[in-house]
Amino acid sequence: SAVARGPAVPFRCEAYGVRAAARGKELRLTLSPLSPSPSPLHLVFRFGMSGSFRLSPAARPPRHAHLVLRTGERPPRALCFVDPRRFGSWRLGAGWQPGRGPCVITEYGAFRENVLKNLDDKAFDKPICEALLNQKFFNGIGNYLRAEILYRLKIPPFEKARTVLEALKDQELERRKKNSSLTLSKKLKLKRENPDLLELCHTVPMEVIEKNLLDLDHLDNYAAFKDWLQCYMVPGMNTLRDHSGRTIWFQVGLRWQQGHRLLPPVPHLNVTTRASARRSRAAEKPSTPAPEEEAEGLRKGRARGRRRKATAAQASPKPEEPVGAKRSRRTTARRGRGEAGSP
């Protein structure tokens, strides 16, 4: 479409197949001609907040369809990349975006290793809720998923990420010692019943996929998705903006699972909210006196000014000159200039 943010797609072919592969928050389409020419074309999509693919009649494509692939049927249908907010995009080429880590769904082992071996990275100096959105380590986790993961484990969202994740190493060693004599089935059962944060980064999005909750345009899917949510957009939950401006949903009073340490009171969290910003600016401004206080101050100021004038007059060493002498000098001055004197 004319308003699309992606590049033009230089592909014309009468018959071709479409294959898709996903990695984290990206999806790659491969357009493969059924004849020797032209060469296959790769497109890598990022969906933003509202991007999706829809299959619809070619004569009636949905609104905000920015890229259309038509079928050879009669009547033809169209596979459309739809993005009302235009936060999504695509680019030509087969390569994934550089800087993104292993996928939390399809590359779980590599994802877990990538996080635990890089805990000295400065990304883990941030609160855990912010680190979970870093696609270098958590490729595939978004805003609603981080809220659901932290809520299920009762982890305070503003706990330091490194503190949370370093505890996983100790937990894993203890688990191996305790479970060394158990059968494989019992080990898997215990793991399902007591997952850690990195495991939930894999299983929670898998629930969404397995329950087919992703197509939110259908009322049944949207209702099922809302029922599935335990924290995100759930009435009664609390919200704050993190340092990147994203809203985090959480529950006040969550206890930290290691040592049952209480979450600090919300006003003391190191997070800038609109209300706290207003309070900070108000605290920095000098206080404005009330009207009666201001009037009282003016009266006192005038009284002090009168007292200063009286004191200065009393302290003056020059004696007050008689009024008649002043008038006589003015009359003499006028006569000297040829003017008539006062009567």
Reading the chain (343 residues) residue by residue, the pLDDT tens digits are 888 888 999 888 888 999 999 999 999 999 999 988 889 999 999 998 889 999 999 999 999 999 999 888 899 999 999 999 999 999 999 999 999 999 999 999 999 999 999 999 999 999 999 999 999 999 999 999 999 999 999 999 999 999 999 988 877 767 666 666 666 666 556 666 688 999 999 999 999 999 988 776 677 888 999 999 999 999 999 999 988 889 999 998 654 433 334 334 443 344 444 444 455 455 555 544 445 444 555 555 566 666 665 555 555 454 445 545 445 555 554 555 544 443 3
In whole angstroms, what is the distance from residue 46 CA to residue 140 CA?
11
At CA 218, angle to CA 215 and CA 224, rounded to 5? 75
Global model pTM greater than 0.95: no
Dihedrals φ, ψ of 54, to 5°? -135, 145
At CA 102, angle to CA 185 and CA 241, rounded to 5? 100
Same fold, 16-92 and 108-253: no
Beta-sheet pairing, 41-46 with 52-57? unpaired
Distance of CA 258 to the CA centre of its chain: 27
- The answer regarding whether domain 16-92 maps to CATH 1.10.760.10 reads no
Q: Which tokens is 298 given?
A: 């003016």
Residues 6+ apart with CB under 8 A from 137: 101, 114, 115, 118, 121, 123, 131
For residue 291, what are the CA distances in angstroms to 59, 144, 285?
A: 70, 50, 18
Q: Residue for token digits 């659901």?
A: 148
Q: Which tokens is 253 given?
A: 């009073």
Helix (H) or strand (E) segment spanning residue 72: none
Q: Which residues pair with 27 in a beta bridge?
A: 22, 45
At the topology level of CATH, where does 108-253 sit? Answer: Helicase, Ruva Protein; domain 3 (1.10.8)
Q: Where do the domains of the chain lie?
A: 16-92, 108-253
